[in-house]
Chain A
Amino acid sequence: MRHLTDDEIQDYLDTGLNAIAVEQHLAECSDCREAVAAYRLIYTAAAEEPEIELSAQFTDRLVERAVIAAKPEIVPASSSSRSYAGVFWAAGVAVMLAVLYYFTNSFDVISQLGIEYWTKFSEWTALMPSWTALWEKIGIRPDLILVPIIILALFGVLDHALRTARRGKAMFLA
């Protein structure tokens, strides 16, 4: 007598496949009855696993993390802060260019250089070693380089402070 295969038994238990033939065989075969009984126990045990217990703080901790993580998404401050940042940076660059334009004759020098040397690349290479002469020609002084940098930094700090304040206000309101 051919015994039932494991696949036949599992198909029978899962879907009732070939139920009549399988049950007829089981009525006569103790080995297969034993196998089916073992499978039934496995099915029952797998379907009745005790609930997994997590630590008492699991959900609370997760809720807090989720709420904090959700804030930048729900508060319009996030997107507006980004646009403010763009405005601040643009303003910073504009002020820096204005300072350079007002206090130096760099623009004249640059345009002059562009006209004079655009078609004469070899002149640029000749100019390269004498950076000091170029700086003097442009009229930039070290203190004038610091001014735009300080202005940019101030705008950066202002932007950061504004964003922090808006986020703090949003969390407080939540």
Chain B
Amino acid sequence: MTEDRSEIQKVVAGDRQAIRRFIEQYRKLVTHIVFKMIPSEHDREDVCQNVFMKLFENLPGFRFESKMSTWIGRIAYNQSLNFLDKMKVPLFEDLVDEDRTVDSVSAEIADPHDLAEQADTADRIRCEIEKLSPPYRTILTLYHLDEMSYNEIGDIMKLPEGTVKSYLFRARRQLKERLLARYGSEERWQ
């Protein structure tokens, strides 16, 4: 367990093996946040590197007063925000216009043969997730994939618990509406 103080001391002291273990332990969390926040694929890995370097820089000051994963998540989220700010990427810009009606989306429904070519329903849903705005994607991932609570997600994203829940519900509702509009009834997803 990397939250073990002696293990952290080793990381701070520059112990290669401890650093490697630390990276491996928290790589998933950092990539989940950065990859959901940063739209440009070629920048994501660099941002992940910067997040880890920021972590190593600040690790000597970590006081074990909060969960290590929350602290790491917060740094990953802030680094991603800084990057988006620098690149002037709007935070809440959805890749699909939220104001479009379900009817207008239905009119664009792909050919059934194209749908059949898609790997499976989960892939289709993940494609739709990628079209959500970065904070929605991040909350969805932290909640479902990293199994974090509203409180932990709120700590990372500096949002009240109520706002986290509201964003999560809104993100899933958008996904459901798009799925129903694009892919029709339950039978067609099977």
- The one of B48, B126, B186 that contacts A58, using a Cβ cutoff of 8 Å: B48
Q: Are A54 and B27 in contact (CB under 8 A)?
A: yes
CA distance A69 to B140 in the complex (A): 34
Q: Are B126 and A49 in contact (CB under 8 A)?
A: yes
| Residue B86 CB within 8 A of the other chain | no
| Residue B115 CB within 8 A of the other chain | no
Interface residue SS majority, chain B: helix
Question: Which B residues, 16 to 45, have Cβ-Cβ distances below 8 Å to chain A?
Answer: 16, 19-20, 23-24, 27-28, 31-32, 35, 45
- The one of A33, A34, A46, A62 that contacts B145, using a Cβ cutoff of 8 Å: A46
- The one of A38, A42, A59, A63 that contacts B186, using a Cβ cutoff of 8 Å: A38
Once A59-B20, A70-B56 are accepted as A-B contacts, the answer to whether A174 and B144 lie under 8 Å apart by CB is: no
Residues of B within 8 A of A42 (CB): 125, 172, 175-176, 179
Question: Which B residues, 88 to 130, have Cβ-Cβ distances below 8 Å to chain A?
Answer: 121-122, 125-126, 129
- The one of A37, A43, A47, A70 that contacts B14, using a Cβ cutoff of 8 Å: A70
Report the count of interface residues on B (CB-CB < 8 A): 42
Residues of A within 8 A of B143 (CB): 46
CA distance A52 to B30 in the complex (A): 10
**B146 to A: closest C-beta gap in Å:** 10
| Residue B148 CB within 8 A of the other chain | no
Contact with B along A16-56 (1 / 0, CB 8 A): 00000000000000000111011101111111110110110
| Residue B180 CB within 8 A of the other chain | yes
Which partner residue on chain B sits nearest A58 by CB separation?
A: B45
Q: Are A6 and B179 in contact (CB under 8 A)?
A: no
CA distance A67 to B23 in the complex (A): 13
Contact with A along B143-182 (1 / 0, CB 8 A): 1110000000000000000000000010011011001100
CA distance A33 to B145 in the complex (A): 25
Given A10-B172, A42-B176, A47-B145, 4 new contacts (CB under 8 A): A37-B186, A42-B172, A67-B14, A70-B11
Residues of B whose CB lies within 8 Å of any CB of A are: 11-14, 16, 19-20, 23-24, 27-28, 31-32, 35, 45, 48-49, 52-53, 56-57, 60, 121-122, 125-126, 129, 140-141, 143-145, 169, 172-173, 175-176, 179-180, 185-186, 189
